[in-house]
Amino acid sequence: MASKKKSWNARRIHLWIGISLALPMALMAITGMLISMRSLGNIDVPMRWMSAEAIPEHLPVSAYAETSDGAVWIGNAQGLNRIKDQQVEVIEAFAGQEIVGMAILASTPTPIIATKMAVWFKDVDGWKSQLKGRVRQVSTLGNGNVLAIAGGRGDMADGKPMLTADGVHWQLYQPVVQANSALPILENPRVALHHFMRELHSGAYWFGKGLGEMIWSNILGWVLTGLSLTGLWMWWKVERQKANKRVKFAEVAQSQAAGSLEGAES
């Protein structure tokens, strides 16, 4: 007898949508957790894994400087390089870090380097972070000093304008503070919708940036991953049980049919 065809009711539609999206939702959860933990270290993957971006012959230049010793400094998303007399030197201290800016001091042939969350300068002991926090600007002023604005973690963090003449000693640059104070006071300031959505999504809205959003993303990510995978597992077990029942039913029906045939022949 032909099996009765099941109707597509709301419950069945919901079931199959859940089954179809279980693995994509688990992937979304896992990648979200890894994104929230990006500050714990630099983990690289082969660029060929990317599908939305074409692989270039050379990485795009994100920072460039020419120093008094005739050297050229080039920064990109993977680190910092120094070129002099057609010899390329890879600066190992910045391997895997994105360089977002450079500035030249009049008193030294070594530039000040800006990554996303620190300002760096090389002294006799090597490269050291002089300022920490989100870097918004690093530039050379007309008198040869370097100005850097850095501090905080969020998009609206109030970075401090710091000035240096040697790359080692920094002090607050009051002209920037005074100029900013002269601007009109904000009235009902607004941000792009995606900034607000990102705070809600990451948990920073309730727990702040850093450790709070990391814990939030990991808890919800593992819960969502668990629900997706266990739901898929339970569905697979039910379908396997149904398949076993169909096989047993077919075997019983076949046995009964064979017995009836033997009885008729006798």
Judge whether residue 1 has pLDDT over 50.
no
66: confidence class by pLDDT, cuts 50, 70, 90: very high
pLDDT band at 263 (very low <50, low <70, confident <90, very high): low
Residues 73-77 have a mean pLDDT of 95
More confident residue, 31 or 132: 132
Separation CA 242–CA 254 (nearest Å): 18
- The residue that leads in pLDDT, 30 or 115, is 115
Distance of CA 223 to the CA centre of its chain: 20
- pLDDT of 140 > 90? The answer is yes
Which one has a higher pLDDT value, 146 or 34? Answer: 146
Phi, psi of 193 (to 5 degrees): -60, -35
Q: Which of 1-10, 19-28, 187-196 has the lowest mean pLDDT?
A: 1-10
- The structure tokens 């030249």 sit at 104
What is the per-residue pLDDT for 264? 64
Residues 185 and 176: their CA atoms lie apart, in Å, by: 16
Contact 217, 39 (CB under 8 A): no
Residue 206: how many other CB atoms lie within 10 Å = 11
Q: HSE on the CB side for 50, CA within 13 Å?
A: 9
As a residue count, the chain comes to 266
Helix axes 211-265, 193-202, angle to 10 degrees: 70
Residue 97 has pLDDT above 70, yes or no: yes
Find where tokens 């929230």 sit.
36
Percent of the chain with pLDDT over 70: 90
Between CA 76 and CA 252 the distance in angstroms is 71
* Residue indicated by tokens 């390329």: 88
Cβ atoms of 111 and 65 within 8 Å: the answer is: yes
Q: Which of residues 30 and 6 earns the better pLDDT score?
A: 30
Phi, psi of 179 (to 5 degrees): -65, -40
All domains in the chain, ordered by first residue? 56-184 (2.130.10.10)
Answer for the pair 167, 108: CB distance below 8 angstroms, yes or no. Answer: yes
On the CB side of 79, how many CA atoms lie within 13 Å of its CA? 13
pLDDT in tens, 182-231: 999 888 888 778 778 778 777 777 787 777 777 887 888 888 888 888 88
- 204 CB neighbour count, 10 Å cutoff: 20
Distance CA(203)–CA(215), nearest Å, equals 9
Do the beta carbons of residue 162 and residue 173 sit within 8 Å?
Answer: yes
The radius of gyration computed from the CA coordinates of the chain, to the nearest angstrom, equals 31
> Which of the four pLDDT bands, split at 50, 70 and 90, describes residue 242?
confident
Confidence of residue 81 (pLDDT cuts 50, 70, 90): very high
pTM of the model: 0.66
